[in-house]
């Protein structure tokens, strides 16, 4: 099986490559522009299997499809690092998705697995959010990713679009967990808001991905989450206890205009279709994530929110 993974040096892409690379029946090619992904994340991967470039580069991407002839595309590439730069987000998240869809159709790809942000729902009318909830994104990241998903669907390619909770894994460099860990370790100030999110361990996510890759022909749109909400304050409290700073204080701030108070995804359809249920608890997931930072450290942290 030949799999093209876009954004292969990012958090999800690099972990997927690491897991699939051990499978001798899988041939992987990675493409990444290294804007937010890191070469270090895929240092174990052969250099001749890595294409440096953007999915927005139509000529480059078509050459990749021609030369590699993938059977499956995992579209993990995303731009989110500067919430004020709509142009850069549009290049990767819109033009990139258009290119992936066009060439997947032209070269008859058997399956396209797209990773979508839960921000596609905007401010939800209810939580947990069912997959049929209206799409109403309002951030650069959310709007551009949603346009890309819509285009893929309109092209009638064999699409599976996974709308994801916050996934914890090796190389995670975005969100409250690495932020709190790094700032508390450096004795810098922290703040939190009264927001709630759902979190998922990569091991659980990869169990679903394996089923989709190897044991299912189902297409469509699916939420991927535990369906359990945790506050950002909960995360801060667990991190400070883990690093031995029980008395560390953080400032409570108002929720930014580009943030959503609560996002929790309803994955009941995913469970029904794929027989998948997450197994790893929130406490175990946090512990695993922090143990990883103890071993590997954190160099840079990204965010799709404005300061």
User: What average pLDDT does range 94-104 have in this prediction?
Assistant: 98
pLDDT bucket at 301, cuts 50 / 70 / 90: low
Give the torsion through C-alpha atoms of 269, 275, 276, 280, to 10 deg: 120
User: What average pLDDT does range 290-294 have in this prediction?
Assistant: 97
Beta-strand pair 2-6/27-32 = parallel
Read off the pLDDT of residues 165-190 as tens digits, 9 standing for 90 and up.
Answer: 999 999 999 899 999 999 999 999 99
Q: Is 133 helix (H, G, I), strand (E, B) or coil?
A: coil
Centre a 10 Å sphere on the Cβ of residue 83 and count the other Cβ atoms it contains: 18
- How far, in Å, CA of 217 to CA of 226, rounded? 23
Q: Report H helices in the chain.
A: 11-21, 58-68, 86-90, 96-106, 140-154, 176-185, 202-214, 232-242, 268-274, 282-296
pLDDT bucket at 302, cuts 50 / 70 / 90: low
Q: What is the pTM of this model?
A: 0.95
- Is 75:112 a contact under the CB 8 Å cutoff? yes
User: What average pLDDT does range 75-88 have in this prediction?
Assistant: 86
- How far, in Å, CA of 155 to CA of 219, rounded? 14
- How far, in Å, CA of 268 to CA of 29, rounded? 32
* Sign of the alpha-carbon dihedral angle for 178, 237, 304, 156: positive
Q: What is the CA radius of gyration of the chain?
A: 19
User: What average pLDDT does range 48-55 have in this prediction?
Assistant: 98
Specify the pLDDT at position 208. 98
Out of 78-87, 121-130, 287-296, 297-306, pick the least confident.
297-306
Read off the pLDDT of residues 85-95 as tens digits, 9 standing for 90 and up.
Answer: 789 999 999 99
When the pLDDT of each residue in the chain is averaged and rounded to a whole number, the result is: 95
- How far, in Å, CA of 63 to CA of 58, rounded? 9
Q: Domain coordinates of the chain in residue numbers?
A: 2-168+199-224, 176-198+228-264+281-296
**pLDDT over threshold 90, residue 303:** no
**pLDDT over threshold 80, residue 269:** yes
Cβ neighbours of residue 217 closer than 8 Å, sequence gap 6 or more: none
Pick the CATH number of 2-168+199-224 from 3.20.20.70, 3.40.190.10, 3.40.50.720, 2.130.10.10: 3.40.50.720
Query: Is omega for the bond preceding 126 within 30 degrees of 0, making it cis?
Result: no
**pLDDT over threshold 80, residue 8:** yes
Q: Is 64 helix (H, G, I), strand (E, B) or coil?
A: helix
pLDDT bucket at 306, cuts 50 / 70 / 90: low
- Is 50:6 a contact under the CB 8 Å cutoff? no
User: What average pLDDT does range 14-28 have in this prediction?
Assistant: 95
Q: Is 159 helix (H, G, I), strand (E, B) or coil?
A: strand
**pLDDT over threshold 80, residue 67:** yes
For residue 119, give both structure tokens. 């921000």
User: What average pLDDT does range 26-49 have in this prediction?
Assistant: 96
CATH for 176-198+228-264+281-296? 3.90.25.10
- Is 89:127 a contact under the CB 8 Å cutoff? no
């Amino acid at each position: 099986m030949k799999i093209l993974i876009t954004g292969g040096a990012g958090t999800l892409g690099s972990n997927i490559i690491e897991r699939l690379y051990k499978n001798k029946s899988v041939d992987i090619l990675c493409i990444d522009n290294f804007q937010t992904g890191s070469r270090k994340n895929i240092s174990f991967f052969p250099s001749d299997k890595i294409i440096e470039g953007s999915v927005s580069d139509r000529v480059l991407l078509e050459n990749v499809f021609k030369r590699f002839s993938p059977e499956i595309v995992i579209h993990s590439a995303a731009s989110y690092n500067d919430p004020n730069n709509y142009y850069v987000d549009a290049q990767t998240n819109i033009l990139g998705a258009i290119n992936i869809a066009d060439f997947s159709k032209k070269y008859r790809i058997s399956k396209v697995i797209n990773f979508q942000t839960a921000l596609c729902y905007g401010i939800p009318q209810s939580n947990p959010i069912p997959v049929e909830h209206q799409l109403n994104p309002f951030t650069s990241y959310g709007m551009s990713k949603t346009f890309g998903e819509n285009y893929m669907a309109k092209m009638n390619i064999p699409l599976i679009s996974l709308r994801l909770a916050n996934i914890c894994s090796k190389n995670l460099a975005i969100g409250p967990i690495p932020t709190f860990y790094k700032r508390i370790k450096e004795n810098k100030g922290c703040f939190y808001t009264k927001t709630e999110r759902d979190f998922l361990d990569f091991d659980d996510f990869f169990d679903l991905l394996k089923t989709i890759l190897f044991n299912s022909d189902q297409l469509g749109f699916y939420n991927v989450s535990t369906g359990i909400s945790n506050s950002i304050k909960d995360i801060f409290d667990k991190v400070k206890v883990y690093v031995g700073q029980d008395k560390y204080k953080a400032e409570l701030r108002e929720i930014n205009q580009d943030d959503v108070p609560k996002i929790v995804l309803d994955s009941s359809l995913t469970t029904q279709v794929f027989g998948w249920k997450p197994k790893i608890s929130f406490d175990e997931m946090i512990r695993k994530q922090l143990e990883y930072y103890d071993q590997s450290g954190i160099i840079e942290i990204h965010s799709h929110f404005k300061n």
